[in-house]
Structure 1
Amino acid sequence: MSETRFVGADTLAILTGLFFRWCVSLFSYSGEGKPPMYGDYEAQRHWMELTVNLPITEWYFNTNDNDLLYWGLDYPPLTAYHSFICGYFAKYFNPNFIKLHTSRGYESLNHKFFMRASVFIVDLMTFVPGICLYFSCSKSRKTEVYRSGGGDGPSEIRNKISPTLLIFIALIYPGLLLIDYGHFQYNCVSLGLFVSAVVCTMKNNYVLSSVLFCLALNYKQMELYHSLPFFFYFLGICYNILQYEGFKPAFKLLFNISLSVILSFFIIWLPFIFDVNQISQVIQRLFPLSRGVFEDKVANFWCCFNVFYKIRLFVNNDTMAKICLIDTLFSVLPSSVDLFLNPTFQKFKISLINSSLAFFLFSFQVHEKSILLVAVPVLLYFPQDQFFCFWFLIISTFSMLPLYIKDNLHVPYISLTLFFYFFITSLLDLKTTINSSIAIIQNKIPSIMKKRLFITNNICKVIYYMFLTSMIGCLVLTFIILCLEPPSRYPDLFPLLVSFYSCIHFIMFFLYFNFVQISAKGCIKLKLN
């Protein structure tokens, strides 16, 4: 009977999450009624048009039928194949949806339904089952072969949340809903494949995990944000097996993982790999240095630094790309080295946050939507550190506010964010949750340092009021950007304030999660049976 109730509750949680998705899809989308370029909605439609009507050799090249300046394809082959499949369905329902040249900017109620449904279906096939599997498997997860010492942290002991509620929280996260179902993108595909790869990692199925992550990476190149934790975690496990089991089992696992990666890339890139010009062109389209270090206003370090030092005026793109690469690798190095030396699944989850946040803050050509690549690992880590994860999820949604305003999505943004906030605050006792998070920190800091750093019980109150101040700041900035006109001399002032405010938070979270990972207990080496 209890199992039936659990399944029924899971179904209700999923259906509610799907209902929220469809409600958001009723609002406007990126570039609606805004010629000549329109927006991301038109970009996705245009890719369907190109892939269906042109030979594969022309998908990434500038030709008479493929003007790369008009939403040229700039995602990996798996995205192109997805566009090709969607395009054939569009051609079946209405050939005018993807008619070459004449369908540019096509907008109709039927087409909007088709496009929204295409996101809904792939979401049901990727992200939704990935999230359900993750939290369901987390409940019954067996002890790792290489497990962390000390058992559950204080937050896990005091504030257990059922898998059903965790699934519901993940499915109503406003950021992803507003971007995929409002703004219009297919982030749910790559993120769903990524979550499924994490599930396989949790179940110690490293080969399947590698295949799934390769699929995610070949759908959106931004999955590079998550690549280093996978690499160092698998490498660390192989190294531990080498130390305690010998060369043969370590080499076998490393060979199987490597072979799965090579074969996955080979199959996906098969139409392109035998032509050097094709490969070169695709790579140039995936990593366009000419666009500059960032576009629009984004809540990362370089955009905020640009306020004080105009990067684009004094540093060329090639040099800036090298600087960003060095800074990103340097910022992600502590997390990666720690994960290699102590390859526990718990550290792996936190490293996914640290790596993606480092890429978001310091890498080249960052979009505001890329914060979703940090938010999903935070959702996966939510049961272990509910307060700071909740705080991050609110700020990550807020950081994309100028984009929502641009797309006329302020109503669903306010509605979803308020529902998300009040649902979780009603579910959690914030002060108790803060105490749990602080208890984790206090347990990791020597008593002498606690006195020097003034880490006492009063810090719980300090953090609580910092959180309230943070939320008030979000409310004030939301009111300003919605209700006031910026000074004519500074038309981008309000979006810049949102980005700057959010960036300060993200740097704080970056320092916090790095501390949590590095100070966590290391591995207890167990012999493989």
Structure 2
Amino acid sequence: MAASGAAGGGGGLAFLSLALGVSLLKCLLIPAYYSTDFEVHRNWLAITHSLPVSQWYYEATSEWTLDYPPFFAWFEYALSHIAKVFDPEMLNIQNLNYASPRTVLFQRFSVIFTDILFIYAVYECCKCIQGKKAGKELTEKPTFILSILLLWNFGLLIVDHIHFQYNGFLFGLMLLSIARLFQKRHLEGAFLFTILLHFKHIYLYVAPAYGVYLLRSYCFTADKPDGSVRWSSFSFLRLIALGFIVCFVSALSLGPFIALNQLPQIIARLFPFKRGLCHAYWAPNFWALYNALDKILSIIDLNDKWFGSTIPTCSSALCDSISNPHLHCDSHIGPRGFLRCLIVCALSSFMFGWHVHEKAILLAILPMSLLSVGKSQDAGIYLLLTTTGHYSLFPLLFTAPEFPIKVLLMLLFTVYSFSSLKTLFRKEKLLNWMETIYLIGLGPLEICCELLFPFTPWKLKYPFVPLFLTSVYCAAGITYAWFRLSFTMLPGLVVDKAKLR
């Protein structure tokens, strides 16, 4: 894996400038609107600081109970000791919805500071990803483009630094683990990913890709001439090393709660199936299309006749979509093939998962950035997925002052994504006419939802129409991207055995 522009010399200075620039932008967003997630994390600071460990996963004074794995709880505990210097009152469990100016400053800066890990992970990924042969200019180099697509990712900016969450350092752990696998530092990659799982369990979506790839690339030490596995080369010692890492990290995370006989309570908090199949704001996935069609068919009284076999069919589709890439992992595909499998797992889980949040689309968009600078087909899928996925996040910021901010930031990021990738793949077509028309349609959709609908007489009677239209329209694009990625690109993962001969 060749290092390039972003890794050293002038490129290193350019990367540092990009990282500093986006950090300053994050500081400018401190006064912006924040969601109920701000109170969620303030409450978790109070819980972990004020109560003994044995009560963390039972405390329910606030409706925003602790429902992340133990490592994240300890992360909040560590932050709470700094928080008390800013404003001790934020650590009072009874102070519900407390948001003093010092509290806001602390929580905003805590997200910005922990993003250092994300910046480092992007730097490591840029050293590993071999993109298309670059031109003479620094701005045409794949790693420079990749660094902007990751560091300045629009979705991550608004979700973490306006809406408020701590996704940056979590994605940093994931990207760093991917970089270590590209560098053939398999145990370190496995260690980082296992830690990540005990910070936020949504990354279980992509765990099968890690498991199969590590077994295939690390535990098998040799291949046959045709690219298939040589079973005699299987190393049980390496398998034991991987198992030890998983058990060791899990013991550190869950051990204290197992000793307290609280594992069932933690599981109940982490997997609250009582919340229902769909989130209040439908994520733009299969279930948004399903719900919309169900509503239409109920009006014409056809839903009972048509939907009888849909749920079993979709359950089967979910299993097939997640397992399909792993079948391809049985061949020698290398780190890029693993990355593609990871993206398919993430997007398949987003498409069919239980109670999926709209923000989970970032789990597919960010790693897809790594593929976008390599092949024109991947670049086209990336542009379709990231533009649609990012626009689907618009309803998260529904206040008037944030309207120009989100529109401007998305336009800047989208224009750069299209122009830079088009420059990188000068002679190749990234999108066909149908895909182009679909993406252009996001403009009229935004005008209808944000500028026209608020002044119609239907606003009070049907307030969720803009959410409905956004979810369904974006679901169509993301579903199309999923089909392209799953059924068009995956066959290319298998090694051409004719070439091996």
TM-score (norm 2): 0.86
Q: Distance in 2 between matches of 1:279 and 1:323?
A: 33
Does residue 507 (structure 1) correspond to residue 479 (structure 2)? The answer is: yes
Residues 167-176 or 513-522, more deviating? 513-522
CA RMSD of aligned residues (A): 3.0
Cα deviations across residues 210-237 of structure 1 (Å, max 9, x unaligned)? 1110111111111012111111111222
Question: 1:257 deviation in Å?
Answer: 1.2
Cα deviations across residues 323-368 of structure 1 (Å, max 9, x unaligned)? 8765422221211211233342121111111110000010111001
Q: Distance in 2 between matches of 1:478 and 1:234?
A: 43
Q: Distance in 2 between matches of 1:42 and 1:241?
A: 50
Does residue 259 (structure 1) correspond to residue 244 (structure 2)? The answer is: yes
Decide whether aligned partners of structure 1 residues 518 and 246 sit closer, same or farther in structure 2, where only a CA change above 3 A counts.
closer
Aligned partner of 1:36 in structure 2 is none
Aligned partner of 1:137 in structure 2 is 128
Q: Distance in 2 between matches of 1:407 and 1:280?
A: 43
Aligned partner of 2:361 in structure 1 is 371
Question: 1:77 deviation in Å?
Answer: 0.7
SS of residue in 2 equivalent to 1:74: coil
Alignment of 1:314-333 (within 5 A): 326-333=316-323
Does residue 491 (structure 1) correspond to residue 466 (structure 2)? The answer is: no
Cα deviations across residues 169-202 of structure 1 (Å, max 9, x unaligned)? 2111100000000100001122111111101111
Aligned partner of 1:345 in structure 2 is 335
Question: 1:41 deviation in Å?
Answer: 0.4
Quick one: which of 73, 88, 101 aligns to 1:80? 73
Residues 477-486 or 280-289, more deviating? 477-486
Aligned partner of 1:520 in structure 2 is 493
Quick one: which of 13, 21, 44 aligns to 2:26? 21
Question: 1:405 deviation in Å?
Answer: 1.6
* Residue identity in the other structure for 1:516: M
Long gaps (5+) in structure 2: 225-229, 298-302, 305-309
Decide whether aligned partners of structure 1 residues 157 and 466 sit closer, same or farther in structure 2, where only a CA change above 3 A counts.
farther
Cα deviations across residues 369-405 of structure 1 (Å, max 9, x unaligned)? 1111111111121212323212321111101111122
Aligned partner of 2:326 in structure 1 is 336
Quick one: which of 417, 422, 425 aligns to 1:429? 422
Aligned partner of 2:83 in structure 1 is 90
Alignment of 1:363-512 (within 5 A): 363-384=353-374, 385-405=378-398, 409-429=402-422, 432=425, 435=428, 463-483=431-451, 484-485=453-454, 487=458, 488-512=460-484
Aligned partner of 1:50 in structure 2 is 47
Q: Distance in 2 between matches of 1:162 and 1:237?
A: 26
For the Cα contact (< 8 Å) 1:189–1:216, is it kept in 2?
A: no
Quick one: which of 105, 109, 115 aligns to 2:101? 109
For the Cα contact (< 8 Å) 1:173–1:420, is it kept in 2?
A: yes
Quick one: which of 288, 298, 301 aligns to 2:286? 301
For the Cα contact (< 8 Å) 1:29–1:184, is it kept in 2?
A: yes
Q: Distance in 1 between matches of 2:109 and 2:33?
A: 15
Residues 301-310 or 208-217, more deviating? 301-310
Question: 1:497 deviation in Å?
Answer: 1.0
Decide whether aligned partners of structure 1 residues 230 and 434 sit closer, same or farther in structure 2, where only a CA change above 3 A counts.
farther
SS of residue in 2 equivalent to 1:429: helix
Decide whether aligned partners of structure 1 residues 323 and 82 sit closer, same or farther in structure 2, where only a CA change above 3 A counts.
farther
Decide whether aligned partners of structure 1 residues 104 and 321 sit closer, same or farther in structure 2, where only a CA change above 3 A counts.
farther
Does residue 176 (structure 1) correspond to residue 156 (structure 2)? The answer is: yes
Q: Distance in 2 between matches of 1:323 and 1:261?
A: 34
For the Cα contact (< 8 Å) 1:128–1:171, is it kept in 2?
A: yes
Q: Distance in 1 between matches of 2:41 and 2:191?
A: 25
Decide whether aligned partners of structure 1 residues 106 and 523 sit closer, same or farther in structure 2, where only a CA change above 3 A counts.
farther
For the Cα contact (< 8 Å) 1:386–1:433, is it kept in 2?
A: no
SS of residue in 2 equivalent to 1:405: coil
* Residue identity in the other structure for 2:444: V
Aligned partner of 2:194 in structure 1 is 214
Long gaps (5+) in structure 1: 31-38, 140-151, 315-319, 438-462
Q: Percent identity?
A: 23
Q: Distance in 2 between matches of 1:217 and 1:407?
A: 36
For the Cα contact (< 8 Å) 2:56–2:66, is it kept in 1?
A: yes
Q: Distance in 1 between matches of 2:98 and 2:232?
A: 59
Aligned partner of 2:115 in structure 1 is 123
Decide whether aligned partners of structure 1 residues 326 and 79 sit closer, same or farther in structure 2, where only a CA change above 3 A counts.
farther
Quick one: which of 203, 207, 210 aligns to 1:227? 207
Q: Distance in 2 between matches of 1:338 and 1:8?
A: 39
Decide whether aligned partners of structure 1 residues 243 and 303 sit closer, same or farther in structure 2, where only a CA change above 3 A counts.
same
Residues 8-17 or 249-258, more deviating? 249-258
* Residue identity in the other structure for 1:513: L
Cα deviations across residues 149-182 of structure 1 (Å, max 9, x unaligned)? xxx8xx6689963423321221111000000001
Does residue 237 (structure 1) correspond to residue 242 (structure 2)? The answer is: no
Decide whether aligned partners of structure 1 residues 41 and 338 sit closer, same or farther in structure 2, where only a CA change above 3 A counts.
same
Decide whether aligned partners of structure 1 residues 433 and 82 sit closer, same or farther in structure 2, where only a CA change above 3 A counts.
farther
Q: Distance in 2 between matches of 1:407 and 1:204?
A: 48
Q: Distance in 2 between matches of 1:275 and 1:468?
A: 56
Q: Distance in 2 between matches of 1:430 and 1:464?
A: 17
* Residue identity in the other structure for 2:172: G
Q: Distance in 2 between matches of 1:268 and 1:523?
A: 43
Decide whether aligned partners of structure 1 residues 473 and 258 sit closer, same or farther in structure 2, where only a CA change above 3 A counts.
same
Question: 1:424 deviation in Å?
Answer: 2.9
For the Cα contact (< 8 Å) 2:173–2:196, is it kept in 1?
A: yes
Q: Distance in 2 between matches of 1:350 and 1:473?
A: 28
Does residue 289 (structure 1) correspond to residue 280 (structure 2)? The answer is: no
Decide whether aligned partners of structure 1 residues 267 and 57 sit closer, same or farther in structure 2, where only a CA change above 3 A counts.
same
Question: 1:423 deviation in Å?
Answer: 2.2
* Residue identity in the other structure for 1:13: L
Decide whether aligned partners of structure 1 residues 434 and 98 sit closer, same or farther in structure 2, where only a CA change above 3 A counts.
farther
Decide whether aligned partners of structure 1 residues 28 and 426 sit closer, same or farther in structure 2, where only a CA change above 3 A counts.
same
Question: 1:425 deviation in Å?
Answer: 3.4
Q: Distance in 1 between matches of 2:463 and 2:429?
A: 43
Decide whether aligned partners of structure 1 residues 137 and 428 sit closer, same or farther in structure 2, where only a CA change above 3 A counts.
closer
